[in-house]
Amino acid sequence: MQRTNDILPDPAVLREGEQLDDLMNGFYLIQSEANFRFGIDAVLLSDFVRAKKNDRIIDFGCGNGIIPILLAAKTECRDIIGLEIQESSAELAGRSVRFNRLEDRISIVTGDIREAAPIFGAASFDIVVSNPPYMIGSHGLTNPDRTKAIARHEILCTFDELAANAAAILKPRGRLFLVHRPFRLAEIIRTLTNHHLEPKRMRLVYPFVDKEPNMVLIEAVRGGNSRLSVEPPLIVYKEQGVYTDEIVQIYGWNRR
């Protein structure tokens, strides 16, 4: 994904401290130094999602809008909602949606994940997607910038609250797709099943073939039967600074 400033129709699109990142399939993302910037986890999650054309999708905690825009680039879905509690991030995501002329496919809503059912209605979505904060209070250093801290730590919403609200707004047999850290895997599976979200697919992501995994991708089904399929590992780098062929394909660089 490349950074570019030469396609802007109007210099006012970008504000101080912002840049425009080239994603894929002709779509772009406005990013700000003041907000949490997307990483490879968001890209891998959007690729892991299996969606049909008529599926209604919501991204819990959409941040700057990266996952809704990537899903618009990768799928034919026409009803994608990004739910984001931080007004600055939601505003940034909304500008990216408008820049890409995706208003007929993506809506950005400022709101709390814990109020998703009252906002949208129970059993109203086919798919929930989330790249949630990975850390709880005792994990790692908390960023002094509150906007970035909220994106990284469970400050405003715990994983249990996320799972409970995903279950509330998913239709029967609806699916939750998420990316998280393997060191919390036992807790994640326990929490999902407690809310009748049965893990069905899992894929571990390794930075190098000889290193421990640092991400896990999970698909869970509301009311699904107990049967988990573990997919082949996803390796990010062949060697330092050189992506594997699968990562190149996921990013779409082989189509440029």
The CATH number of residue 232's host domain is: 3.40.50.150
Residue 244 lies in a domain: yes
Residue 54 lies in a domain: yes
H or E segment and range at residue 198:
strand 197-206
Nearest CA to 80 among 36, 49, 48, 122? 49
Contact 157, 191 (CB under 8 A): no
Residue 168 lies in a domain: yes
Q: pTM for the whole thing? A: 0.87
Residue 210 lies in a domain: yes
- The pLDDT-based confidence of 26 (bands split at 50, 70, 90) is confident
What Å distances lie between residue 38 and 112, 122, 174, 198, 226, CA to CA? 20, 29, 26, 28, 33
pLDDT tens for 96-117 read: 999 999 999 999 999 999 999 9
Contact 100, 73 (CB under 8 A): no
Residue 34 lies in a domain: no
How many separate domains does the chain show? 1
Contact 21, 29 (CB under 8 A): yes
Coil, helix or strand at residue 57: strand
Residue 207 lies in a domain: yes
Structural domain boundaries, residue 185: 39-255
How far is residue 34's CA from residue 117's CA, in Å, rounded to a whole number? Answer: 30
Contact 57, 126 (CB under 8 A): yes
b/e 189-199 (16+ beta carbons within 10 angstroms → b): bebbeebebbb
What Å distances lie between residue 217 and 222, 230, 250, CA to CA? 17, 10, 14
pLDDT tens for 154-213 read: 456 899 999 999 999 999 999 999 999 999 999 999 999 999 999 999 999 999 999 999
Rg, Å, the chain Cα set: 18
Residue 17 lies in a domain: no
How far is residue 84's CA from residue 60's CA, in Å, rounded to a whole number? Answer: 7
How far is residue 235's CA from residue 91's CA, in Å, rounded to a whole number? Answer: 34
How far is residue 89's CA from residue 74's CA, in Å, rounded to a whole number? Answer: 22
pLDDT tens for 29-57 read: 998 877 777 899 999 999 999 999 999 99
